[in-house]
Structure 1
Amino acid sequence: MNRQRNRGRVTAAALAAMCAAAVLPGQAHAAGPGVYAFDPDAKNVQGAATNVEASTLDEGVPYRSMIKPGEKLYYRVTLDDASAAYVSAVAVPGDAGAVAYGDGITVSLRETDDTRCDSGQATFGSGAYARPITAYASRTVKEGGSTCHEGGPYDVLVERESKAGSSQEPWGLELRFLQEPKLKNGTSMPTEAPESWPSASAKPLTGKQQKRSGGSGFSEATSLENGRWQDTVAPGQTRFYRVPVDWGQQLYASAGLSNTTSGGEEFVGSALTLSLANPAQGQVSDATLSYSGGPASASLRPLPPVAYRNRFDSSSQVSAMRFAGWYYLSVSLSPKLKESYGAEPIPFELSVQVKNQAGESPYEGDAGVFGVTDQDREVARKGQNAEQAAKSGPMTVVAAAGIGTGTVLVLGLGVWTLLARRRASAAGHPAGGGNQPSAQGW
């Protein structure tokens, strides 16, 4: 009898835990200060010192690598002869590693004869503190162009710059290779940058503030919709979020750091960095604020509405707003605050506004990561990250795969039936009788 009771308790406890997992899909778990959450599906890959020995990166697959100070590492991708292509690298220094102004990474895409197609750079800037930074390089096919247009193998070169006084520890790398979908047949796309766009700052939001915890990497980024979002960030920590921005829509974002209750008043320059990256994880823009213990805020400069023609602009900020999809916001707090204000997290508010109606996609078929769906908007409303959204998607519910509602209901009925039979057996009666429960902006 005791053995039966124990089994019942274990089964009930397991069911309770599964129920809890099923009804709490939107909880984000941010790691401690300085800890970056690499994509759990990332494959390990080693960069090569020579291009002929470079490992190939498959499209759409996340990779994890490592780079030392002064290293120049080659990887390889295979491009078709029509699609725009993007290769990004997120550099992840150690949480205690010292960095200097100008330290960072450069990513370039090259033909195998070393002809450069494009390059992008990311540095730690005036803040000069270790945090994840991202850069990307692209290949845009232009009519009448003479280089980087043919299909075939291309080299990806990732270079690290670190001053002599900076940490000499290796940095982690998170790599991605993406190709833009093909345009619709017969679509005449613009070939020049926009002449003008609305550049006024957005009015501050006045709605109710809500709490939502950020993730610790791009793969864990917590989804947001329009609103005022409250979270906390500790010295040396970075929080990640993502916002769906469709064609023709314009994104505004600001971060306001709360006053501290520790009583300190020491001035810390570039104490907080608010950064924006596009769906290909290319750097778009950032803003910083200084801190003296009182409330302080920073806003991203107004950015153009998402449009295909933005890619032809000479400004990297405008050019990066070239396609729809999930745009990533990150909030980093300098570890220097720990000296004057302690290690406890400080509250902050992240204000997000996406304006304008969504326009039509220029792509043929499914846009993949370069589009926004109704399901994406629902995911943003719920505050789920990518993994949580995948587990709670329509097919998961229909098939009752993983820990879904269907699984919980079936298991619940099975557990109820099992316990009922045991009780009936103990009482000397069959378990079958009685009342049973029924189960356009191009």
Structure 2
Amino acid sequence: MRRRTAWWRAAVVGAVLSTVGTLPTSGATAAAGVLVGSPTYGAGTSARGDSAFAHDDSTFAYDEDDRPVDGAATTADATALKPGETYRSSIRRNATLYYRVELDTTSTAYVPVTAVPPAEAKVAATDGIKVSVQNAAGAPCSLTSAGFGAGLSPRPVTALGMRETSRASCRAGGTYYVRVERRDATGSGSDAWGLELAPVTEPPPARTGPTKAPEVWNSASPEAVTGEPRRRDGGAGFATARTLGQGVWRTGIAPGQTLFYRVPVDWGQQLYATAELDGSSADGGYVSGALGLSVYNPVRADVDDVARSYSGRPTAAAVDPLPPVAYRNRYTVIDKVRTMRFAGGYYLVVHLNGQMADTFGQGPHGLTLRVRVSGTAQAAPGYSGRSAPRGLFEVTDQDRAAGAAGAAPDGAPGDDSGAMKALAVGGIGTGTALLVVLLVWTVTARRRASAQMRVSAQKPTA
């Protein structure tokens, strides 16, 4: 849940570009451009998946600061979770686990749980997890579920447990329990699924405002965002989600892969998003639920999701128009409205069905994201305290800069070849460009190695 946006990269790249923008292009810079230039994106891939795209084979990137924790079979043994921290756990087939969290009398609490099955797992449409928050007496405060759907493709799925003080039985301060149930009728046998838990608390507003959701808002689909696509590879988890602003973004995605992006959306603004999968040169074939696009809010609540089948032709998945972000959106029963309840980083999660490999090749396949953030940012409602983690429900100038640059979180994988090409074409000599590239590669490699060591040390035992 922490915001590791590499805003400083956007600032440095912007400063360098402004410095070299007036320099003449030379033969040396052209040679540097060949070395560090971004790859060429074709209209599609071959039946065997030949492509210019690179991709990460990992199924999910856990937060490098995740604390290992074991779920308990009973509430009596439940391990405590602290809001603002993130945790890594695991759950076996048909198991039910408990965790506990201490809450005050005023804050709203959110406990998103992401389940990560093995990449080779066999899943049914109804498989997934159920997450609930219960008071000390066992009365439920919320109950949600997340499953794999008709596409039958294993991937990270997230369900949210929530405690709101508007419910009388969940108003008192004290101990609450997070119940996580795995549903796996036919799946991966005794193999454990990974879990990531990220509890959050939201303080109440300092002053009471309207307690009714807006009844009228612009629900018309806007014109598609146009312009030259910019290369931006996605992250493999919420913690490594690449920050995007408005624009057209280009990457590649392999069958079975899930990409995570983060879009800063301020109070009063609306988010629109479309994912477009390139056509294929393969003859015939059809994959149900091939391309999935989901939107999650800053506490990882599912806002909206859509899946599209694929027959080799260019295919687009667009989420329904979403209302402007407003605190009082929570006072409705319409899910896609009530989940647009605070500002912050909204996640775009794109999944390509693993069954695509059998018919249309291993890929990666060309993917285009069109993102629009419309509306003028408005003042925040004025919270009476701080969220945990701090600053979760706000959009900063650093967020906006990172979104414009398509920045990757510190230490996370991300392709900055477009920026490197701009440096080369702008007039930096071959030697200077090489030094810049080597410096970026060295720093990135060290961070990835450090993060991998931490993840390996924290890997839960099944």
- Residue 164 of structure 1 deviates from its aligned partner by 2.8
CA–CA distance in structure 2, aligned partners of residues 152 and 386 of structure 1: 35
Contact kept in structure 2, 1:48 and 1:75, CA below 8 Å: yes
1:254 is matched with which residue?
A: 274
1:183 is matched with which residue?
A: 205
2:359 is matched with which residue?
A: 340
Contact kept in structure 1, 2:202 and 2:386, CA below 8 Å: no
Give the aligned residue type for 2:239: S
Give the aligned residue type for 2:283: G
1:435 is matched with which residue?
A: none
**Of 137, 160, 172, which aligns to 2:161?**
137
- Residue 294 of structure 1 deviates from its aligned partner by 1.5
- Residue 141 of structure 1 deviates from its aligned partner by 2.0
2:75 is matched with which residue?
A: 51
1:330 is matched with which residue?
A: 349
Q: For residues 48 and 166 of structure 1, do their structure 2 counterparts lie closer, same or farther at Cα, with a shift above 3 Å needed?
A: same
Contact kept in structure 1, 2:267 and 2:378, CA below 8 Å: yes
Contact kept in structure 1, 2:278 and 2:365, CA below 8 Å: yes
- Residue 97 of structure 1 deviates from its aligned partner by 0.3
CA–CA distance in structure 1, aligned partners of residues 385 and 136 of structure 2: 32
2:106 is matched with which residue?
A: 82
Contact kept in structure 2, 1:33 and 1:236, CA below 8 Å: no
- Residue 181 of structure 1 deviates from its aligned partner by 3.0
2:183 is matched with which residue?
A: 161
CA–CA distance in structure 1, aligned partners of residues 165 and 210 of structure 2: 13
- Residue 188 of structure 1 deviates from its aligned partner by 2.2
Give the aligned residue type for 1:176: A
Give the aligned residue type for 1:98: K
CA–CA distance in structure 2, aligned partners of residues 120 and 385 of structure 1: 31
CA–CA distance in structure 2, aligned partners of residues 48 and 148 of structure 1: 22
Cα deviation code 1:288-318 (max 9, x no counterpart): 1111112111100111111111112112222
**1:218 and 2:238 are equivalent in the alignment:** yes
Percent identity, please. 45
**Of 393, 397, 400, which aligns to 1:374?**
397
**1:107 and 2:126 are equivalent in the alignment:** no
SS at match of 2:126: coil
Contact kept in structure 2, 1:215 and 1:240, CA below 8 Å: yes
**1:320 and 2:320 are equivalent in the alignment:** no
CA–CA distance in structure 2, aligned partners of residues 245 and 222 of structure 1: 14
**Of 347, 350, 356, which aligns to 2:375?**
356
**Of 289, 292, 298, which aligns to 1:270?**
289
SS at match of 2:150: helix
Q: For residues 311 and 380 of structure 1, do their structure 2 counterparts lie closer, same or farther at Cα, with a shift above 3 Å needed?
A: same
SS at match of 1:380: helix
Aligned residue pairs, count: 365
Cα deviation code 1:8-65 (max 9, x no counterpart): xxxxxxxxxxxx9x9789x9x9863452111110010000000010000011111000
SS at match of 2:357: helix
CA–CA distance in structure 1, aligned partners of residues 101 and 71 of structure 2: 13
Give the aligned residue type for 2:327: Y
Q: For residues 108 and 365 of structure 1, do their structure 2 counterparts lie closer, same or farther at Cα, with a shift above 3 Å needed?
A: closer
Contact kept in structure 2, 1:135 and 1:282, CA below 8 Å: yes
TM-score by length of 2: 0.75
Gaps of 5+ in 1: 1-19, 390-407, 413-442
Cα deviation code 1:354-412 (max 9, x no counterpart): 110111111246661111111111121222233359xxxxxxxxxxxxxxxxxx9xxx9
Contact kept in structure 1, 2:257 and 2:351, CA below 8 Å: yes
Query: What's the RMSD between the two structures over aligned residues?
Result: 2.4
**Of 310, 320, 328, which aligns to 1:301?**
320
SS at match of 1:386: coil
1:383 is matched with which residue?
A: 406
Contact kept in structure 2, 1:62 and 1:176, CA below 8 Å: yes
SS at match of 2:65: coil
Give the aligned residue type for 1:150: A
- Residue 191 of structure 1 deviates from its aligned partner by 1.8
Cα deviation code 1:94-137 (max 9, x no counterpart): 10101111111111111011010112211111212101111112
TM-score by length of 1: 0.78
Contact kept in structure 2, 1:269 and 1:291, CA below 8 Å: yes
The higher relative CO (CA closer than 8 Å, separation ≥ 6) is in 2
Give the aligned residue type for 1:385: A
Give the aligned residue type for 2:313: G
Contact kept in structure 2, 1:100 and 1:166, CA below 8 Å: no
Q: For residues 40 and 229 of structure 1, do their structure 2 counterparts lie closer, same or farther at Cα, with a shift above 3 Å needed?
A: same
Contact kept in structure 2, 1:34 and 1:94, CA below 8 Å: no
Q: Which of the pair has more CA radius of gyration?
A: 1
SS at match of 1:125: coil
Cα deviation code 1:120-169 (max 9, x no counterpart): 21111121210111111211222xx5211111110000111011355542
Contact kept in structure 2, 1:242 and 1:328, CA below 8 Å: yes
